[in-house]
Amino acid sequence: MLAYIIRRVFQSALVLLIVGLVAFAMFRFVGDPVDNMLGQERTQADVERLRQQLGLDQPFPVQYWRFLEQAVQGNFGLSYRQGRPVSDILIERLPATLELAFVSGLFALAFGIGLGVFTAIRRKGFAANAIMTLSLIGVSLPTFLIGILLIYVFSVELGWLPSFGRGEVTRIGGWTTGFLTESGIKALILPAFTLGLYQMTLIMRLVRTEMLEVLRQDYIRFARARGLRERAINFRHALKNTLVPVITITGLQLGSIIAFAIITETVFQWPGVGLLFINAIQFVDIPVMAAYLMMISVMFVGINLIVDLLYFAIDPRLRVDRSAGKAT
């Protein structure tokens, strides 16, 4: 087990290094930030002096090594646009994105697993078929279009929910939350539903497929032959074995919620790190873009590592296979 964890941690660190290298190399082609930072009356001496101050006159390997050296310490440099430490800007914006991702992930998991089990057990019923038909909307329609439709219906026509912003927030130490205010909760409903709808439908269809496969197994038939209650068969035996392969996909989908929050935050002008990244692209703010991609990579790799360890701990077959491999 310890050797497996060490190997997975090493692989995760290698992935982060590669992602950082690719991201840092791509930003060399999005434009020169000096052009946006200096006015039209700049001179060549001003350009050279600013490039030297930012370290852009150094070779690419030197810039990349300096970026990694500072990133390990949590220092991503100064924002070219705001002139403030990037870490401070991320800390200010991160609570909004994590709050949105948490509610969206909770919605996707709760309704995805619940509806997936329901449509598998009642697969021939009218309600199950209706749910599966409606789920095609969440799978096929793009996120930005769903967000625009929700804004038009619930904000423009009905006027029930706000169409943009985070509402009133409460500061608790260094953290800001909208859970404690009515306007904050109302502002969270539409973006959370928009962001979690695709993930919910994907989890629901995956759970349904796995549940139907498990219900066809011989041990389920044997449980019915023993006279066990249908509820015990479905939830104690079938659901438990259904969730084992679902864990991997679900973990990756929860990670993608944070990454895909860019679109949702742009549609609803949600003041999170996704909207910050979009604004950074427009102003060629390389430190902010690099810090954002590294943060998303760390979250993805971390979630993937946790999922692998949970999968190893939950599924006894992996432990048995690994022990057998060592014995031979």
Looking at residues 163-191, what average pLDDT do you find?
A: 87
SS3 157: helix
Domain assignment present for residue 112? The answer is: yes
Least confident of 89-98, 174-183, 248-257: 248-257
- Let me know if residue 33 belongs to a domain: no
> Domain for residue 192, yes or no?
yes
What is the rounded distance in angstroms from the CA atom of residue 53 to the CA atom of residue 57? 9
Helix residue ranges, H only, the chain: 2-26, 33-37, 44-54, 60-72, 86-121, 126-140, 143-150, 182-215, 218-225, 230-232, 239-259, 261-267, 273-282, 286-314, 316-327
Residue 134: how many CB atoms within 10 A of its CB? 11
Instruction: Supply the pLDDT for residue 36.
Output: 62
322 against 238, higher pLDDT: 238
pLDDT band at 189; cut points 50, 70, 90: very high
Domain boundaries, position 141: 97-287
Please determine, for residue 191, whether its predicted confidence score (pLDDT) is greater than 90. yes
Structure-block tokens of residue 270: 């949600």
Residue 121 falls within a domain, yes or no?
yes
- pTM higher than the cut 0.85: no
**CATH code for position 122:** 1.10.3720.10
Q: What percent of the chain has pLDDT over 90?
A: 7
pLDDT at res. 153: 92
66 in any annotated domain: no
Written as six digits, the tokens of 15 are 């992935």
Per the structure block, which two tokens stand in for 247? 């864990």
First CA to last CA distance, the chain? 17
Whole-angstrom distance, CA of residue 56 vs CA of residue 156: 47
Using CA atoms, how far apart are residues 118 and 148, in angstroms rounded to an integer?
A: 30
Domain count, the chain: 1
Mean pLDDT taken over the chain? 80
Does the residue 244 lie in any domain?
yes
CA 129 from centroid of its chain's CA atoms? 29
Tell me whether residue 34 is in a domain. no
Closest of 182, 183, 189 to residue 167, by C-alpha: 183
Instruction: Indicate left, alpha or beta for 83 from its phi (over 0: left) and psi (-120 to 50: alpha).
Output: left
Give pLDDT, residue 323.
Answer: 52
Q: Is 271 domain-assigned? A: yes
pLDDT of 27 reads 65
